[in-house]
Amino acid sequence: MHKIIRAKNILIVIMFVFLVWFLLFFNKNLYSNFKFSFDKPNKIGNSYANIMNDGYVATQDEWIFFKKETNCCIPFLSAYSLIAKKKGEATTYKIASGLGGYINIIGNDVVYTHMQFPDIGNMYMFNLKTKRKYKLADSVYSVQVIGNWIYYVDYTHNGIYKMNIKNREPIHLFTFKDQVVDYFVDGSNIYIYCYDDNKLYRLSSNGNHLETIGLPDYSTFFMAGFDKQFIYYQDVTNLYRINKWNGMGKELIVTNTLSISFADDDYIYYSENKGGGYLYRIEKNGKNKKLILRKSDITHINIHGKWIYYRIGVKEKIYRVKTNGTKDGLFQ
């Protein structure tokens, strides 16, 4: 009897080991010898507004790169994968596993964070041409790639860093005493908001000059986007804008905002915190509000061209709809 039980236990162990091997090494979506080709490489890896909403979709030329949940019956192997798909085609290509978010792509280099246990919150780069994966930094969030530079925050030390995408050497720009909540890169300046002291800073992109920009009040402050003149920010429920150069001239743009993104120079797309979480469009001056999609609990808005990618509540499925409200449906 004991021999039978022992044999069953051995069989279970063998089956478990085989299952792990199969999932890790025999997945039909594993990266193959497919050669990517781009006629128009990006100059910016992803928009700031998309990065603020997890950056789970990035595009370049005719390709879409996105984060997809990996369904697995083994808890510690559960993760997300970086997937590529050509516009208008059904075939998908798995680029990497253990994806966290903040997807940026410029040329053949895809930069992202890795969130699979125990390697939490680290930054990696995958080269689509050489198929090599590089670990770039530990303890990272809010990755923004602009030209040849990767910008990121080291959340252990509250440091702002940049790294040349070619030599992958980190350059320390500045370390703040307080927690860095948001930042964005705008030309030769980096705008940074620190939570504890409730201050907005402007740092030169070489790290040599730092100045404090006045804020109109002490409300909770989350930078949602920016343009040539304004910084748009969200408190608990509303979207405002202030002058980018001096932090003054506070204007209320729209109330009850939940997820916000900027598609172009004219419009803001957002879901409401009340009234079902429907998707709306409004001009940057707060005028001409328009309902785009009557669907509840829309979150994590990522916009690329004429497509709005979004999720429903805490679900990981990706949907998309045209910016004019047509062709709504499941993407992945």
pLDDT per position as a tens digit, 64-94: 999 998 765 455 444 788 999 999 898 999 9
CA distance 91 to 245: 47
- Within a domain: residue 3? no
Six token digits for residue 143: 């990755």
Task: Give the tens place of pLDDT for each residue, 186-217.
Answer: 989 999 988 777 788 999 999 999 999 877 66
Six token digits for residue 305: 């061209």
CA distance 234 to 225: 10
* Domain encompassing residue 91: 35-175
CA distance 142 to 159: 12
* CATH code for the domain of 48: 2.120.10.30
DSSP 140-170: EEEEEEETTEEEEEETTTTEEEEEETTT--E
Q: What's the pTM?
A: 0.86
The tens-digit pLDDT sequence of the chain (332 residues) is: 555 556 555 655 566 545 544 444 444 444 556 788 888 899 999 999 999 999 999 999 999 999 998 765 455 444 788 999 999 898 999 988 878 889 999 999 999 998 755 445 899 999 999 989 999 998 898 899 999 999 999 888 788 999 999 999 999 999 988 778 889 999 899 999 887 777 889 999 999 999 998 776 666 678 888 988 999 988 878 899 999 998 889 999 998 888 888 766 689 999 987 777 899 999 999 999 999 999 999 999 999 999 999 999 888 899 999 999 999 999 97
Report the number of distinct structural domains present in the chain.
Answer: 1
Yes or no: say if 99 and 115 are a contact pair by the CB < 8 Å rule.
yes
Helices marked H in 53-158: none
- Within a domain: residue 249? no
- Within a domain: residue 166? yes
Six token digits for residue 60: 């370049």
The 3-state DSSP class for residue 109 equals strand
- Within a domain: residue 163? yes
Yes or no: say if 188 and 231 are a contact pair by the CB < 8 Å rule.
no
Q: Residue 3 half-sphere exposure, CB side, CA atoms within 13 Å?
A: 0
